[in-house]
Every structure is written in structure tokens, then in C-alpha cells.
Amino acid sequence: MSRKSFVGAAIALSVCCTSTAMATNGMNLEGYGAKSHAMGGAGMAYDTGNSAVMNNPATLGYMKEGTEEIGIGIRGLHPSVELSYGGANDKSEATAFYMPSLSYMRKDGRITWGAAVLSQGGMGTDYGNDSPLFAYGFSMDGSTVPLSGGTIRSEVGVGRVMFPFAYELSKETTVGVTADFVWASMDLQMDLDGSHFANMMNNVGGSVGGSMAATLQSMMASSQITDINYARFDFSNGSPFMGKAIGYGTGFKLGLTQKLSDGITFGASYHTKTSLSDLESSSAKIAFAGTMGTTPSAFAQELTGTIKVHDFEWPATAAAGLAVKASPKLMFVGDVKFIDWSDVMDKFSMSFTADNTTANSVYAGKTMDVTMTQNWDDQFVYSLGMQYMATDRLALRGGASFSTNPVPDQYLNPLFPAIVKNHYSCGFGYKVNDDTKVGAAFSWAPEVITSNADTMVISHGQTNWSLNFVHNI
């Protein structure tokens, strides 16, 4: 077997347990808003501005009474993902993702309220249609065969419209809540070679079922189909704003801040698991290729239909932290966060229903159900940061965050290498005048290199930045 063929087969094995999203802590960003981002992602116990809607809504109570403000933000993610196997290398072409935000907040007496919309997270990989690593795989009978030659990519986007409410119970205690409308979208273009498709039909690394799978098995049993080279799943629109398969749902957050002394504040929040509908697209495709008949001849079948991604959710998250004001100019902050990935990332599940058309042949109206094992671990994230007021107008900030890797090596794959762990950040805030403030942050996530169950080496590092503009109206 050529090196090209062997590498392609190994890639196909890795892809068989894929998912389609990635940010910096699993699917979470390391911090929301330029202020929190610059301070290592900590944001539970001090004023993080309008970004409190994603950090701790109770800290909105730190707004000055009688003020109202608008906020505009942009976040940039720049991942670098590389693969190596058997002396061959490849690199993801997806290197830039941009996420905007817009908010309005007002404080009246003890009550702070408003609305905000933001892109919460999103990333993916794109290996194009010319990568030698994705050119070959193994058929069901173990032969080396070419795969589809189509584009191999994945992308997910999650966003929220949030309606926060914070109430000062006393000078020391504030509580907050947000009601969230959540949307999620997904693109996936993936080849699954015949060998691993067969494994999944035998409940190894996942499962394949449904009436379409039963028809395939019947045709193989009767030797109408004698081998399958690959199965290809394809739903993508290439839009930078919204993926092909879309779902909607809800979530909410609770928050608390408690002043412990003149210089120390405690804060905590709980973000519920989302409740999303299936991510759905009515213009998806599945394709098969292989051999058929007692006198073997090649066949290829492309089906159009509806895809549904089941049980895709954002996990429940609990966090707590302290803010310590060491002097009028110097503040230290620290958080610990628990992300319940194991509850939502145990498997990736989708179903395809073929259109009831003549072109879909014997598969018309039939369904294929595919489940891929993921078994993510829960994750702890530890964030530390500081702020120094260099002048009355200029705040200098820095921080770091440290986390575990939630993805087991056994299920690590090139479409979803969510292995980044640590971040080092810096930034500043500047008060332009009494009504206008700007903030900026930059973070560096050092490259993490690891190998999956097939000894494929996958590396992933990132640089991220954020900008925020706030104006009193």
C-alpha cells in the first residue's frame, strides 16, 4: 500500500467519531467581553460591563443608577490545526472566525435590565477537496479504495438573544437572571470509509440503523451489493453567518454577588443546559460508492433528503469567584468553573430521511440513523486576572486560564480537535470621555499536541482577540 493510501485510511478511521464544533475550552470561549477576556476569563465577582449577560448577570448591578448604555463588540478566533501521520502532513484552512455582539442596558433604582445578542462560540476545520490525507480509505472487505474526493469540513455556530434582570437586595447583595433565546447551526461534509461504516453497523464506535440501513444490509446479504467503499454525509452552505442545519431553543442563567468586606466580593453563577430543537436541513445529501453484482461493477448512489442532528446542546455550567481590591488602583480576580460536558457530548447523533423521489431509487422515503461515540469528560477551568489603573482613564489588564482537556484521545479526530487547554491574556480599557469607553484584549493559547487511538498526531493552538465599545446615551 502506498503511503498516501495508508494515511488516507487512518484519517478515515479518525473521522468516524467526529463532531462539528470547537472554541477554546471545549466549545466555550475562555472569556466574554474584552474586560473579562483580558483578565483570564474571570468575571464572577466584579463589573464586566454589558458582557455580564454571559458571565454573571448579577454584576450588572454595578451600573450607576440612572444610566443607560449601548455596547458593540467583536471577537476574533484564529486557530491553527495541523495533522501528521506516516510522514504526511495537512493543515486546516479554517483560520479565522468572527463573532459580533450588541447590547443595551439601563439601571433604574435597584433594578438593572436590558437586552443583548451575541455569537457565543463557533469554529470548525476545513481541509478542502485536495488533501492527500483524505484521498483513500478501506472498503468493507479491507481493500484500499479512493474516497469521494469532496470537500472535508465542519463548522458550528451558537448564538443567544438575552434579556437580563438584576436586583440589588441590599448594598452588599445583588441577584441576577437572564432569559435566553438560543440558536445553533451546523455544517458537515464528511467521508466515512466502508470499513468503519461496517464497524458502526456492528455497534463498534457508534451505530447505524433505520430502514435505509436495513435495505443496505438486505442487498449485501443477497449479493446485490458486494462491497461499500464509503458513505458521505454532506450538509453545508458555506455561509460565514449561519450553517445549513439549524435549531432553536431556550436557556437561562442565575447570578449572585455578595460583598464580603470593603475590598472583597464573592460572585457565582449557574448557566442551565440549553433546550434546543433538532438541528435540521431539508437539503442534505448522503452518497454511497462500492461494487455490486456477482460480476463486480462499480456503483455510486447519491440521495437527497432531510438531515436532523439530535440532542445537540450547550452544557450546564457552574462558576464562582472572588474579586480583591488590594488598593484604589489594583484589583485581583479569580474564578473556578465547572462545565458538564459529559451530559451533552456523550455521542453525536443524526438521522437522514431520503426524499420520496424516483431519483432516490429503492431508498426513497427511508431513514438512516447514525450515532458516533464521543464520551467527553467534564471540565474544570481556573481563571486568574488583575487590573491596574495606570491613570484615571487607562486600565491595564492581564491574566491566564488553565483547564483540562475534555476530549478522550480515543475519540480525538481531525474535524474536531478541541484540545486547547491554557490561555494567557492581556488588554486595556480606556475612558475616552464621561460617556464613552473602549476595551481590547488579546489571548494566546499555546499549541497542544496529542495522538489519537490511531497514532495520528494532531496539534492545535490559537490566538484570539476582542474589542468592545460602550457609550452612555
**pLDDT for residue 173 is more than 50:** yes
Give mean pLDDT, residues 164-187.
Answer: 97
**pLDDT for residue 445 is more than 60:** yes
**pLDDT for residue 153 is more than 60:** yes
For the ranges 3-7, 34-38, 452-456, which has the lowest average pLDDT? 3-7
Mean pLDDT score of the chain, rounded to an integer? 91
How does residue 170 score in pLDDT terms, banded at 50, 70 and 90?
very high
410 contacts 247 by C-beta, under 8 angstroms: no
**% of the chain residues with pLDDT over 90:** 73
Tens of pLDDT, residues 344-363: 999 999 999 999 999 998 99
**pLDDT for residue 127 is more than 70:** yes
- Three-class SS of residue 175? strand
Give mean pLDDT, residues 322-336.
Answer: 97
Q: What are phi and psi of 14, to 5 degrees?
A: -70, -35
Domains annotated for the chain, with CATH where assigned, are 3-472 (2.40.160.60)
Query: Side chain identity at 293, as an amino acid letter?
Result: G
CA distance 344 to 376: 8
Distances, alpha carbon 80 to alpha carbons 351, 449, 450, in Å: 31, 12, 14
350 contacts 18 by C-beta, under 8 angstroms: no
For the ranges 44-53, 108-117, 139-148, 392-401, which has the lowest average pLDDT? 139-148
The distance between the two most distant Cα atoms of the chain, rounded to a whole number of Å, is 85
Give mean pLDDT, residues 377-389.
Answer: 97
**pLDDT for residue 5 is more than 80:** no
How does residue 157 score in pLDDT terms, banded at 50, 70 and 90?
confident
**pLDDT for residue 79 is more than 60:** yes
Give mean pLDDT, residues 258-272.
Answer: 97
5 contacts 144 by C-beta, under 8 angstroms: yes
Give mean pLDDT, residues 428-446.
Answer: 97
Tens of pLDDT, residues 190-203: 999 999 899 999 99
Is the model's pTM score more than 0.85? yes
Give mean pLDDT, residues 299-327.
Answer: 96
In this structure, are strands 153-168 and 111-126 parallel, antiparallel, or unpaired? antiparallel
How does residue 468 score in pLDDT terms, banded at 50, 70 and 90?
very high
Q: What are phi and psi of 225, to 5 degrees?
A: -115, 125
Q: What was the pLDDT predicted at 242? A: 85
**pLDDT for residue 13 is more than 90:** no
Give mean pLDDT, residues 70-78.
Answer: 94
Tens of pLDDT, residues 80-90: 999 987 788 89
Q: What was the pLDDT predicted at 18? A: 38
In this structure, are strands 206-209 and 264-271 parallel, antiparallel, or unpaired? unpaired
